[in-house]
Amino acid sequence: MRAVLATRNAHKVEEVRRILAPYDVQLVSLGEFPDVGEVAETGATFADNALLKAEAVARATGLLALADDSGLAVAALNGMPGVLSARWTGKHGDDVANLRLVLDQIADVPDERRGAAFVCAAAAVTPAGERLVVEGRVEGVLIRAPRGSNGFGYDPIFVPVGEERTTAEMSSEEKDAISHRGKAFRLLAPRLVQLGSR
């Protein structure tokens, strides 16, 4: 089954390809469709944004489209940055600045109140408009200074429950096994076969 992932983010494409490797899904990047524009993430929730992107890309490409929206929900920030995670500083995709801003905002928060979760909504939409969305979540805590060089985004400051390492200190395979995106796409994958065969 051929599907297009509604992103040009190479890190994300590589991660989702690894997660879907056990399934019969040939995943292509939105980068292979230069005429398809960026989809504005105007939804109020991760699921809203994932569906907006998948619907637009399915219409534009005529392929089964997969999309996700994910981010960091910090308890001490009332669940923010949430859907604004990639543009928390106001500029989209500046991972280092976004991470520093979150650390600055919770600098005075004691360790026992630094709970956070990575959340991912993964959506699939067929060219005919059939829709499916699932959510994956991993709970953890935020440390005070970045550690590790793997991963991207907020990985260097996020330690999952039951771990001592940040997700940026884990191998790709270790991270995929527990990550919010891994959980969401593993929930979605078995149902893609049914969706794609209709």
Tell me the per-residue pLDDT of 42-52, one tens digit each, with 9 for 90 and over: 999 999 999 99
User: Does residue 198 surpass a pLDDT of 70?
Assistant: no
- Across the range 85-89, mean pLDDT stands at 93
- What pLDDT was estimated at residue 178? 93
What is the span of the domain harbouring residue 126? 2-196
Provide the 3-class DSSP secondary structure of residue 18: helix
User: Does residue 32 surpass a pLDDT of 80?
Assistant: yes
Q: Which strand ranges, in their side-by-side order, compose the sheet holding 2-5?
A: 26-29, 2-5, 64-74, 115-125, 131-142, 158-160
User: Does residue 65 surpass a pLDDT of 90?
Assistant: yes
> 39, 26 in Cβ contact below 8 A?
no
- Across the range 86-104, mean pLDDT stands at 92
Query: What's the whole-number average pLDDT of the chain?
Result: 93
pLDDT band at 149 (very low <50, low <70, confident <90, very high): very high
Of 133-137, 165-169, 193-197, the range with the lowest mean pLDDT is: 193-197
- What pLDDT was estimated at residue 24? 83
Domain CATH for 92: 3.90.950.10
User: Does residue 104 surpass a pLDDT of 80?
Assistant: yes
Active site residues: 69
pLDDT band at 195 (very low <50, low <70, confident <90, very high): confident
Strand partners, 141: 115, 159
**Which candidate, 20, 95, 47, places its Cα nearest to that of 3?**
20
- What pLDDT was estimated at residue 93? 78
Model pTM score: 0.89
**Which candidate, 85, 101, 73, places its Cα nearest to that of 41?**
85
Share of the chain above pLDDT 90, in %: 76
- Across the range 56-73, mean pLDDT stands at 96
Share of the chain above pLDDT 70, in %: 98
- What pLDDT was estimated at residue 196? 57
Q: How far apart are CA 125 and CA 107, in angstroms?
A: 41
Domain count, the chain: 1
